Amino acid sequence: MAFTAENRSDVEKLYEFLKQMGATILDAPAEYPIYGPNYYAVFFADPDGMKLELVHFPWGYWRNTQRDGSDDRPRAERKKS
């Protein structure tokens, strides 16, 4: 589950808070270009082990995707059963 942040600073602040409370950090704040240009996030686990993230992803990307009707991010191939 992902939550959106207004800016990168919010991602950094949550990261510091998570460290102080001893939360499980799965991936420190960084850019994750595989998810899109300027995708900046921290990934962590909740007490039940569910993977969560706080992401700052500029709205312009989503607006352009909605306008153009496509998303050029790479997708993993699905295994056929």
DSSP annotation string for 35-69? G-TT-EEEEEE-TT--EEEEEE--HHHHHHHHHHT
Distance separating alpha carbons of residues 81 and 65, to the nearest angstrom: 30
Range of the domain at 8: 2-68
Contact 14, 66 (CB under 8 A): no
Q: What confidence tens digit (pLDDT) does each residue in 49-62 have?
A: 999 999 998 866 66
**Residue 78 resides in a domain:** no
Q: What confidence tens digit (pLDDT) does each residue in 22-40 have?
A: 999 999 999 998 888 889 9
Q: What is the pTM of this model?
A: 0.73
24: domain CATH number is: 3.10.180.10
Neighbours of 12 (CB within 10 A): 17
Of the candidate ranges 6-15, 41-50, 58-67, 70-79, the one whose mean pLDDT is the lowest:
70-79
> Is pLDDT above 60 for 76?
no
**Residue 73 resides in a domain:** no
Q: What is the pLDDT of residue 35?
A: 84
Distance separating alpha carbons of residues 55 and 7, to the nearest angstrom: 8
**Residue 36 resides in a domain:** yes
Domain count, the chain: 1
More confident of the two residues 6 and 80: 6
